[in-house]
Amino acid sequence: MTETRTAPPAGGGAPSPRPARSGRLRPPRRRRPTGAEETRAGWLLSAPALLALLLFLVAPVLMALWVSFLDWNGQSNPFDGDQEFVGADNYRRLLAEDTLLHRDFMVSVRNTVYFVALNVPAVTALAFALALVVNQRILKGRGFFRTVFYFPSITSSVAVSIVFLFLFQGSGAVNGLLALAGVDGPNWFTDSRGVLHILMAALGLTEPGRTPEWAGGTLGGLPLWEWLSGPSVAMCAIIALTTWASSGTFMLFFLAGLQNIPASVYEAAMIDGASAWQRFRYVTLPLMRRSVTLVMTLALIASWQVFDQVYIMSQGSPAKTTLTPAYLSYARSFGDGQFGAGAAMAFVLFAIIVVLTVVQRWIGRERD
């Protein structure tokens, strides 16, 4: 930290007033720091943060990449060369061979696909609706409601998971409310039935508990009929929690977008006689395209990372219908000691997230 003082003073000049906070007087030195000096200072000030990033982000990723090519049980030192180097075996077993790991992974992908299909549109619509309302000047108490809607987003995921576990018990508050509406609520966290299966049976398209003939094949190691299950009843409770807990954050993103729309645009539309609906449809919506894309992308990424809720609420049960890739990767590594397989899964998950983000950004890009 002393390097700046070692530079020779570059000329005297009259003493000028020093900043009020500095008490001592030093001989005035009128100069600009040289390029080399700034470079040294720049790296020095950046050093602590860079060290943390290299040590706890870059290095871990490289180490995990190495481990994903090993058959390592998490006990010994994975870098002493004693572990068997299995090349791409972990990846092959995960993605191509018909192993338990592969089937579990495919189940977790199926679960996540349905998680995305419900959570992303729901949280986007909900957050947008909340933002529109909270942004209305004619409504009083908007600040209070904004505070209320955002609060779940900053509360501990552990705490809200426990609360939702309580709400969604078999004889819990949610079923109590459903009973008031005359609906006999399910036993949420023990119900592994897929919602689409239930729906198809209810519509008389299929017989309950039997695989229809047209869905007899398999895809990626999983029966076609399993792919068509929809989210399980248990997963629906976890989706409800996630949508509820993340909508406040996205509401603020939409609010930022709404406040960027100049009032003059609305005034012009009003002068042209546009109704409230027309203003929303032809002014707000097109101008919010960027915000919608951003929120959907972030919700998509978050949906592929679901972990905390599953750890606390279900541990993947019932019948693996709440298993997510992140939880499976954790359970394989820390539960079963298969760190090579777990690390490989983490990298595959990373790749999936990157690809989906790029695709969604491309779909939502500005078009003229």
Site for another protein in 289-308 (CB under 8 A): 291, 294, 301, 304-305, 307-308
CB of 211 to another protein, least distance (A): 31
Residues of span 317-356 touching another protein by CB under 8 A: 326, 329-330, 333-334, 339, 342-343, 346-347, 349-350, 353
The dihedral formed by the CA atoms of 70, 76, 80 and 84, expressed in degrees to the nearest 10: -30
In sequence order, what are the beta bridge partners of 218?
Answer: 223
Lookup result for tokens 């919700």: 299
The crossing angle, in degrees rounded to 10, of helices 289-303 and 100-134 is 150
Residues of span 254-293 touching another protein by CB under 8 A: 254-257, 259-260, 270-271, 273, 275-277, 279, 291
C-alpha distances (whole Å) from 283 to each of 21, 45, 125, 237, 270 are 52, 47, 17, 36, 11
Tell me: does residue 83 bind another protein (CB under 8 A).
no
Q: Which of 248, 288, 303, 318 binds another protein (CB under 8 A)?
A: 248
Tell me: does residue 49 bind another protein (CB under 8 A).
yes
Q: Which of 69, 78, 90, 292 binds another protein (CB under 8 A)?
A: 78
Please choose, from the candidates 184, 305, 299, 160, the residue with its C-alpha nearest in 3D space to the C-alpha of residue 237. 160
Q: Which of 16, 181, 184, 210 binds another protein (CB under 8 A)?
A: 16
**Total chain residues near another protein (CB under 8 A):** 122
Which of 277/362 has CB closer to another protein? 277
Q: Across the chain, how many H-helices and E-strands are there?
A: 18, 4
Tell me: does residue 222 bind another protein (CB under 8 A).
no
Residues of span 29-48 touching another protein by CB under 8 A: 29-33, 35, 37-43, 45-46, 48
Identify the three-state secondary structure at position 77.
coil
Tell me: does residue 21 bind another protein (CB under 8 A).
yes
Q: Where are the beta strands (DSSP E) in the chain?
A: 70-71, 84-85, 218-219, 222-223
Residues of span 182-211 touching another protein by CB under 8 A: none
Q: Which two tokens stand for residue 85?
A: 């180097």
CB 266 within 8 A of CB 226: no
CB 41 within 8 A of CB 25: no
Which of 112/206 has CB closer to another protein? 112
CB of 214 to another protein, least distance (A): 37
Tell me: does residue 171 bind another protein (CB under 8 A).
yes
CA count, 13 A, side-chain hemisphere, 116: 21
CB of 368 to another protein, least distance (A): 21
CB 129 within 8 A of CB 292: no
Identify the three-state secondary structure at position 30.
coil
Which of 41/196 has CB closer to another protein? 41
Q: Which of 56, 209, 264, 286 binds another protein (CB under 8 A)?
A: 56
Q: Beta strand pairing status for 222-223 and 70-71? A: unpaired
CB of 243 to another protein, least distance (A): 10
CB of 71 to another protein, least distance (A): 15
Tell me: does residue 163 bind another protein (CB under 8 A).
yes
Lookup result for tokens 């030192």: 77
Q: Which stretch binds another protein (CB under 8 A): 103-111, 191-199, 210-218, 310-318?
A: 310-318
Please choose, from the candidates 254, 278, 252, the residue with its C-alpha nearest in 3D space to the C-alpha of residue 266. 278
Which of 61/183 has CB closer to another protein? 61
CB 91 within 8 A of CB 207: no
CB of 98 to another protein, least distance (A): 25
Q: Which of 138, 203, 205, 263 binds another protein (CB under 8 A)?
A: 138
Lookup result for tokens 């008490």: 23
Tell me: does residue 107 bind another protein (CB under 8 A).
no
